[in-house]
Each structure stands twice: as C-alpha cells, then as structure tokens.
Chain A
Amino acid sequence: MAPRRVVITGLGIVSALGLNVEDNWKALCEGRSGIGPLEGVDGSRVGLKVQNAAQVHGFDPLKHFEGGKDAQLDRFAQFSVVAARDAMRDSGLTLTPELRENCAIVCGSAVGGQSAIEAGFEDLWVNGRGRVHPLTIPKTMANAGASHIAMDLGLSGPAYTISTACSSANHAMGQAFRIVRDGLAEMAVTGGAEAFFTVGMLKAWEAMRVISPDTCRPFSKGRKGMILGEGGAMMILEPLDAAEARGATIYGEICGFGMTADAHHLTQPTVEGPARAMSGALREAGLAPEEIGYINAHGTGTPGNDPVESRAIRKVFGAQADKIGVSSTKSMHGHALGAAGALEAIATVLALRNGILPPTANFTERDPECDLDYIPNQSRKAQVGAALSNSFAFGGLNAVVAFRAAPR
C-alpha cells in the first residue's frame, strides 16, 4: 500500500488558556499567558517554593462524568477523555462499527496518574490509614488516558501510551501519524495529557532547580526557568482522501516525524540530537528547509534549553533560520510535560490554518545567545506553508513533528 497523506480533522483541548479550542487560540493570538499563582496545593508544611503555575481553571469533572465515574479517572485521564470527545465531535465523523475497530489511539503522558498514587501514599504514611483507594492502580497507570478514551468513544483498534517525559505527546502523534499513513489503522485519536500538581511532584520539580520563581520567558535574557502546566489535547487523524470524500474540515496535514536520542546526559541537551530530529522530520515530510515558516519551539525558558535549541535550529536551517518565526507557547500554557507537544501541535496547526503565528509571551530583552526571531509578545500575521513543532525530553529524547497547511 502506498503511503497515505494524513490530515487533522478534529481538535480538542483543555489547558490553562481555556477549556476549548476557541479560547485557547484567542489567548495564543493575544499573547495572553495562563500563568498565575498556584492554587489548590498546600505545600506550606514542606516549604514548597513553587508559587506560579499554568493551571486549568473551571474544569468540573461532574459536568463530564456521571454516576461517580469521575472518581474512577485521575485528572490527567479526565483531560484525555474530554479532549478526545471534543476532537471527535469536532471532526464530525460518523463512527461505523468497522471504523471503530480500525481507529488507533496513541497518547502521550509523562507521569500518568501520579497524583492518584501520591494521594494513596499520603493516606498510608501521613494519615496513618491502613488502606488506599481501591482504584489507585488503574487510576495511576499511564495508559489510563488511552484506555478511557477507548471505552468512552467505543474505539477498539490499537491503543497505547508513550511515556518519554516532555516528548511524550510528540512521540505519540508521530506514531499515530505513521500508523495512519501506512494503513495500519484507518484513523487515529492522538495527543497527550498531564495533571501533576501535587505537593510531592512539585517538590520533586523544585529540587531540579529548573522552575522560574516568577514567570516563563523563553529565549529572553533574564529568563529563570520553566513554569509547569497541565492540560490535555487530542486530535483526529485520517487519510486525506477519506477526509476529502466526506467533506471534512481539514485543519492541516501532519507530514513528517523525526526522533533521536542525544546519548549524552540526563538533563543537559545537545545541539546534534535535536538538530537530527528536525532534519529527520523534514526528510520524512519531503520538505525543504526553506519551506518552513514557523517553528513551535520546545522553548522551556530554562537557561540551558533555549540557547542550545536556537543553535540546533541554526544548524539545520543555516541562514534560512533568520526567515523563520520561532516561538515558545509554553510562555502561555506552561510546560505540561507529556501534554506539551499536543498543546503545541494545536497551536502550530491553527497557526498554519489561520495565518497567524503565536508569539513568545513575557519576552523582555534579547539574549545574545539566542539569535533567532522569537515573535516577541505579539502574534504575527503570516501565511506559512509548513511548520515544525519541537519537543526535547529529559533523558535526551527528541521528537519533532512536521505539519503542512491544509491542501487548498
């Protein structure tokens, strides 16, 4: 079977920027950050220093899950299901029995339902209880998101979760793309979800000394680190011909995927690993470097990532890099770990579709070590034909997805 072109026909998202695609896109266009004071986590007893976060506000599980089902899903799995439902609804697909059996689900999540097991451990060791909640195991498992999507939407094709820290969602979307491209499934639900705002997880992040005390200023001089985020985003992938045949709205094309390992250091990135991942995505997509008009950067806002990522982009694109708009939307939706790539994929696809490049918010001053065009603070009207979305994980695992604007 000849490789098929794969398009995105449905989007669903829950993030600090809003509970639907419209609110998210509006915030991205306005350069409005969802970062704010951390709420709902009492770390005073253990001197928690993390003060700001990009949290999802106004998400009421009872609006989405009836009859006590909400308690069977950790927050990350709730985000997964709600985003998948929205994406499926958005796609307008009619799910025939045959299609249900041939729909893949590939989800990314770095820590899965860690908050569920942390609550259980708190019961054991802090509250002195002799029992933990009986659903602690199925709530904690990283595949809970994929499993609940399968059950909720009645999709019974290949389904699994990829956990590669901050690259999880990009690895997931890359796999889903190849599954549909190669005809291993007729369609796919793919993306990522993460929800990990617990005292234990935040203390663990704090200990790594990568969290900014104020906000996230990617690529900006004086940046002090990342701001953690939460959320979930899912998209529907299907073959171009099938989407065209049913007259579907096509948001864009997912056309290439590159992945590499740095084989170097647990937390220090290299230039070569990310550069090879970007080159791999371009190669698979059949895209020339000069066709890329936008890169949604990994752009964590840490002192370490941003100059190295900038050099990696320079290495791949050379002088052409100066013509590419590069932004980190983590400045707005925070770093949602295993969901990050999915939140950013939606930003990238909508940028291609709407001809508006989302900015890097909170940008204050140019850093001589970061010499690209970061679209500081204000979105930019630009009709670009193709884009990359970068994710680079702790452990040196790099995953880059390439997108094209919808065929016109």
Chain B
Amino acid sequence: MCRSPHSRTSAGTFTRKVSLCANGVNRMADPVAEKVIATLASVKRIPADKITLETNLQEMGIDSLDVFSLLFELENAFNISIPDDEVRSIKTVNDIVEGVKKLLAAAPPDASVGSTSPAN
C-alpha cells in the first residue's frame, strides 16, 4: 500500500509518507485506520481496498456533503464528537485517522448522548 510517491514534489509529504510506511502503519495492523477506511468505503460505496492512508479525499471525489456524512458515521463508529475546528485541516485518509486517534486519546467515549452503543 506504500506506493512510490514520484509525483509528489513536497519534501514534507514525502517524508511523512515514508515514515508512515516505515512505521508499518497499515490498516491490517491498525484497527482505527481499518475502521476509518471501512467507514469511508461505506459512505462512498466503493471497495475498501481502493483506499489507502495516503488517499487524498478530494481526489477520491469526497465533496462537502460526503464530509458531513463521513463525520456522522465516524462519530457513530468511534462514539466520539468531532469538533468543527478539527474538520477543516483534513486532506488525506491519514489526517482522519490521526484526528480520530487524538480524540479517542483526549477523552473517554462520548457518553453524554445516551447510553446505547451504536450498532455500527
């Protein structure tokens, strides 16, 4: 899943991608990433194996309405509450994964909205 980043010109992006691969972060080993990718695949009705951590959301055709739906599904899937501020900087799948991890680490699962655990 670590495709060669020939087309990238940004050194930062390159370094980051390398570090992702070097750290062995992939969906099989990372349940959060796996769940994010599954959620994304479900929202866009595409196979999960078409999505990698490096996938750019805009390039995969995610528009603003898809983002609303995606956030809703992620909030349900992880039982978190995603603040509006966190949304603006998202560009790649990995941005979402990192954001979700940050929210999961920062607070216990959002229990303020009722005790029933979402089915999905």
- A residues neighboring B (CB under 8 Å): 62, 66-68, 70-72, 127-131, 133-135
Contacts and interface: CB of A to CB of B under 8 A. Distances in A.
Contacts of A134: 68-69, 71-72
B67 to A, nearest CB: 9
B68 to A, nearest CB: 4
Interface of B: 43-46, 61, 65-66, 68-69, 71-72, 75-76, 110, 112-116, 118
A66 B113 CA distance: 33
B44 A68 contact: yes
B98 to A, nearest CB: 22
B46 A135 contact: no
B82 to A, nearest CB: 10
Most interface-central of B46, B66, B112 (chain A CB within 10 A): B66
B43 A71 contact: yes
Contact of A68 (B66, B113, B118): B66
Contacts of B110: 130
Given A128-B113, A130-B112, A130-B113, 9 more contacts: A68-B69, A70-B45, A71-B43, A127-B114, A128-B115, A130-B114, A131-B75, A133-B72, A134-B72
Contact of A62 (B45, B66, B72): B45
A-B pairs, top 6 by smallest CB distance, nearest first, are A130-B113, A128-B114, A134-B68, A128-B116, A68-B44, A68-B45
Contact of B69 (A62, A71, A130): A71
Contacts, number: 46
Contacts of A68: 43-45, 66, 69
A170 B65 CA distance: 33
B30 to A, nearest CB: 24
A4 to B, nearest CB: 39
A67 B113 contact: no
Nearest to A127: B116
Contacts of A135: 65, 68-69
B72 A67 contact: no
A136 to B, nearest CB: 10
B69 A67 contact: no
A179 B90 CA distance: 46
Contacts of B44: 67-68
Contacts of A131: 72, 75-76, 113
A170 to B, nearest CB: 33
Nearest to B75: A131
Contact of B65 (A62, A72, A130): A72
A66 B43 CA distance: 11
A219 to B, nearest CB: 46
B37 to A, nearest CB: 14
Nearest to B40: A68
A250 B45 CA distance: 39
B108 to A, nearest CB: 15
Nearest to A61: B45
Nearest to A124: B114
A129 B114 contact: yes
B36 to A, nearest CB: 15
B24 to A, nearest CB: 30
Nearest to A62: B45
Contacts of B65: 72, 135
17 contacts: A67-B46, A67-B61, A67-B66, A68-B43, A68-B66, A68-B69, A70-B45, A72-B69, A127-B114, A128-B115, A128-B116, A129-B118, A130-B112, A130-B113, A131-B76, A134-B72, A135-B65
B56 to A, nearest CB: 15
A90 B39 CA distance: 38
A128 B61 CA distance: 33
Contacts of B61: 67
A147 to B, nearest CB: 13
Nearest to B45: A68
A133 B113 contact: no
A72 B43 CA distance: 10
B109 to A, nearest CB: 12
A249 B9 CA distance: 57
Contacts of B75: 131
B115 to A, nearest CB: 6
A89 B39 CA distance: 35
A127 to B, nearest CB: 6
Nearest to A130: B113
Nearest to B118: A129
Contacts of A72: 65, 69
A8 B61 CA distance: 37
B102 to A, nearest CB: 20
Contacts of B112: 130
A101 to B, nearest CB: 24
A66 B71 contact: no
A400 B65 CA distance: 39
